[in-house]
Amino acid sequence: MLKIIKVIFFISLIFPALNLFSEDYSTIVQGNDEDVSELLQKALNQSILKVLGSQRDFNLNQKKLKKLNPDNYVKQYKFIKFNDEEALEVMIDLKALQEKLLEINLGISFLKNPKVAAWVLCKSDYSSLQAAKSLEQKCKFVKKEFDRVANERGITIIYPILDSKDISLFSFENDSNLENLTIFNDRYPSDGWFFCEISSFSEWCFLPEEIEKKFSKLDLESKYKPTVGINILIDNLFSNQRLRSASDSNLPYYLEIRGLKKFSEHKEFENILKNILFINNLRLMSLRNNSATYSFNLLSEERNLLNYFGGIENLILINKEKDKVFLALGE
């Protein structure tokens, strides 16, 4: 059954709103005595994890993912210096990888560059000079692991600088009652946050009960080792903006766009369509009377496409029939 979408608007009004499309993705990999082919496989695995947005799905689908050949997704690579060591910077064809993961029935995330605030409290230990130095090294190691995960998952990690407004954390050292802990997370721009307590004897991390709220009590029922905790938090953030594959996908669609005053505007819009995450086999059917008609295949559920157009400012749903959807630009 053919689905028809008519989009009626002027091209200049929609371009700024089309922010849900693919682009090339660069990742950095390092290894001890690993050859280039092994590093490229490592780069592909990091990119897959970034696109999936789920450590759990990545682990559960290793049989499928091991069949993917880096040669099909690596566009270029170069040797660079990273943290004073030799590394490989690899450019990945993200669009091709996204399409492949949808094709093998895995979801993909379109959350771009999320930021996570990591509240790390290193509890003092002045029992001896050796104990103090050991704790300092332990805290550095935990943060280094967070930085490693952040690089692999394609996120930015923030370590808030404590000041007088965070006084509750200072007093918390003497009264380790997590229920009374208040974190002023609203002052640090982030998509999510978590709290870790590092001592000489243990290191545990806690996630907020409500992941995306800046003010939330900690979930005291569950505690995690640092790398486990941060990965679970990232999975939760990505899952809220995740495109799911559909068993009945690959449906034919048509899209008509009006208001194309110049041929260059048509080419600009066509390039944007080519990079939308969940369509492929894009073809120009006609170009006349300041309008263009395209056909393409939909790689996910219809509601994802409708939600996508619904997120464009001033574009409203006029009517939806059995086999037609009409959209128009509002005032």
Assigned CATH class of 115-239: alpha beta
CA–CA distances in Å: residue 224 to residues 50, 220, 299:
22, 10, 36
pLDDT at 107: 78
pLDDT at 236: 87
CA–CA distances in Å: residue 107 to residues 51, 95, 102, 282, 289:
9, 14, 6, 21, 39
Q: Helices (H), strands (E): how many in the chain?
A: 10, 15
Nearest one of 219, 214, 217, 216 to 229, comparing CA atoms:
219
Helix (H, G, I), strand (E, B) or coil at 261: coil
Nearest one of 104, 112, 100 to 70, comparing CA atoms:
100
- Concatenate the DSSP letters of all residues of 265-280 into one string: HHHHHHHHHHTBTTEE
DSSP 61: T
Q: How is the chain split into domains, by residue range?
A: 3-20+246-329, 25-109, 115-239
* pTM of the model as a whole: 0.66
Contact 4, 319 (CB under 8 A): no
Q: What is the pLDDT of residues 125-165, one digit of tens each?
A: 777 888 888 888 999 999 999 998 988 888 899 888 765 44
**Predicted confidence band of residue 69 (pLDDT cuts 50, 70, 90):** very high
- The type of residue at 232 is I
Lowest mean pLDDT among 43-57, 121-135, 167-181, 268-282: 167-181
Q: What is the CB neighbour count within 10 angstroms for residue 254?
A: 16
Residue 271 to residue 296: CA distance in whole angstroms? 13
Place of tokens 């930021």: 115
Residue 322 to residue 320: CA distance in whole angstroms? 7
Q: Which residues pair with 300 in a beta bridge?
A: 245
Residue 105 to residue 300: CA distance in whole angstroms? 9
What integer best gives the mean pLDDT of the chain? 77
Q: What is the pLDDT of residues 161-201, one digit of tens each?
A: 765 445 455 455 555 567 766 676 777 788 888 989 888 88
Residue 268 to residue 281: CA distance in whole angstroms? 17
Contact 293, 4 (CB under 8 A): no
